[in-house]
Amino acid sequence: MLTAIIDYESGNLHSAEKAFQKMAAEIGGIEVVVTDDPQTVARADHIVLPGDGAFPSCMNALRGSGVFDAVIEAVETRARPFLGICVGMQLMARIGHEYEDTPGLGWIDGEVHRITAPGLKIPHMGWNDLVIERPHPVLDGLQTGDHAYFVHSYQMQMTDPAQRLAHVEYGGDVTAIVSKDNMVGTQFHPEKSADKGLQMIANFLRWRP
């Protein structure tokens, strides 16, 4: 089994690579690679899309990368399990409104807007408590009140609430986890979220939608 972490020059991949490799070694029989090679993506069993930075630059970098078509084929046509992390999750939305209106991948029925949290600092940075709204195999072993680590100024506002699995409170509710079919996304960084984040990574690596 092969898990591909997509390298499109829009994120710090080191911590994600180490966390996924750690859990893959514990599970056994799973190889984790960071790649910008379309052939590697095409044969991957799981796809991970990290992302740090602004929505437009990340979306443009992904569309301009050599792996874009391979990712679309793997996720949309062959229904490979997909995990978007931070801006990687935001790119799953229909559109982002950071600096300029930018179409997203359109996989999740939502739009990305700046967080509105009067009296609170933006970006939303640090640990926050998850409020889990509905069960999902990737959330096995997690519960409301578990901590996750966030660093972001924009959030996905849902048009279809059924596609949201969890939120956190930060001047109002802020989308934390989304899901549809073979896709799941986390606004927080599971690779930086201690034991519960590692549990979620392990769940994803075992997930067979």
What is the mean pLDDT of the segment spanning 115-127? 95
More confident residue, 111 or 14: 111
pLDDT at residue 12 above 80? no
Q: What is the pLDDT of residue 40?
A: 97
- pLDDT band at residue 9, thresholds of 50, 70 and 90? confident
DSSP states of 84-96 as a string? EETHHHHTTSSEE
Which of 86, 98, 111, 167 is an active site residue?
86
Domains in the chain with CATH codes: 2-206 (3.40.50.880)
Q: What burial letters (b/e) apply to 124-163, b meaning 16+ CB within 10 Å?
A: beeebebebbeebebbeebeeebbbbbebebbbbbeeeeb
Can you name the residues that pair with 185 across neighbouring β-strands?
84, 178
Which of 124, 152, 167, 189 is an active site residue?
189
Interval 123-180: pLDDT, tens: 999 999 999 999 999 999 999 999 999 999 999 999 999 999 999 999 999 999 999 9
Global pTM?
0.96
Interval 18-58: pLDDT, tens: 999 999 999 999 999 999 999 999 999 999 999 989 999 99
Q: Catalytic residue at 111? A: no
Which of 17, 98, 111, 191 is an active site residue?
191
Interval 79-115: pLDDT, tens: 999 999 999 999 999 999 999 999 999 999 999 999 9
Q: What is the pLDDT of residue 10?
A: 76
Q: Catalytic residue at 58? A: no
